[in-house]
Amino acid sequence: MYQPEFVRPPAPHGFHDEDFVHYFDEVNTPGLGVTIPAGDTVRDIQLRLETDSEFIARGISVIAAANPQFREPGGFYLSSDFMPLAQSYRNGVALAPSGTFEEQTVLFEPEIRCPQGSNFAVFFENPTSGPVALGAFIAIFGVKRRRNDA
């Protein structure tokens, strides 16, 4: 993803940031591998963040066969309804080298501060007239904010 020519504000005094990516698929989150019947939804698939430090979420990439809606750890929903992927969590596909989805990262603005061990929740809707195998990949990009003595 392009990075504007501004540095981020530094971590608060006594802390430092480390790049980190939370990645979820049907291997570590079985709910992302279900088959959704026509017109049906799956709800409240929990995406558990690591417990060792606060996580500052700054972007997300999604590949899925259904329309997602996210709820961030503070309880806020990120859209008013299920969103078609092409209009929500995919970005710049046509410009990218083949086989990548990092270019589809959609940025969180403002960033989302996630307490350690907190959860994102994702909901999916199958808007088609037939069942779909969800086959979802979700990568949440950001930094871990650690105490300097940790």
Q: Give the shortest CB-43-to-other proteins separation in angstroms.
A: 19
Q: Give the shortest CB-54-to-other proteins separation in angstroms.
A: 13
State which of positions 78-137 bind other proteins (CB under 8 A).
78-81, 83-84, 86-88, 91, 96-103, 107-113, 137
* Nearest alpha-carbon partner for 56 in 120, 145, 121, 122: 145
* Interface pattern 54-83 for other proteins (x via CB under 8 A): ---xxx-x-x------x-x-x-xxxxxx-x
Contacts of 35-38 with CB under 8 Å at 24 or more apart are 35/131, 35/132, 35/133, 35/134, 36/66, 36/124, 36/125, 36/126, 36/131, 36/132, 36/134, 37/126, 37/131, 38/126, 38/128, 38/129, 38/130, 38/131
Site residues for other proteins per CB under 8 A: 1-10, 16-25, 27-28, 49-50, 57-59, 61, 63, 70, 72, 74, 76-81, 83-84, 86-88, 91, 96-103, 107-113, 137, 139, 143
